[in-house]
Amino acid sequence: MVTTLRSFSHSVALIKVHIVFVTKYRHPVITEMIEADIKTLTESICAKSDCILENAKADLGTRDHIHLLIDLAPKVSVSRLCNTIKTVTSREIRKRYAEQLKPYYWKPVFWKRGFSVISSGGAPLSVLKQYIENQGYDD
């Protein structure tokens, strides 16, 4: 996992986000093959957006959600990236696994409407707050 700053045209950044997508109605439909396809599709989408998919893993116990760890480019909106990933993966998974998903979904859906995104990495919040409050003193 990359922990150094990445350089862009006018900035440097290290923005890690942990994203969770849940299947519609929490149906247990994510298999190892679907997980692999979601990972491949997400890597491709991230590469086009100058982002890096660092890790992707579905909970194969409940088979109803997937966790993604993405190194985000500063020019990319988290909500736009999430919506693109959900749209493309939903369309492709429904197309590739139509028969397998047929008992669960009769409408063109795969993911639940929302998503969870949590920033991660770097210093703990208490250290950042202390650093900001001490600005101007003994620089």
Domain boundaries, the chain: 6-133
- Residue 138 pLDDT: 59
Considering the domain delimited by 6-133, tell me its CATH architecture: 2-Layer Sandwich (3.30)
Place of tokens 């994510």: 30
Strand partners, 119: 17
Beta strands 65-72; 15-22: pairing state: antiparallel
pLDDT digits (tens, 9 = 90+) for 34-79: 999 999 999 999 999 999 999 999 999 999 999 999 999 999 999 9
E-strand stretches of 36-106? 52-58, 65-72
Kindly state the average pLDDT of the residues 93-114. 97
In angstroms, the CA 82 to CA 42 distance is 10
- Whether residue 137 has pLDDT greater than 70: no
Average pLDDT over residues 85-99: 98
pTM: 0.89
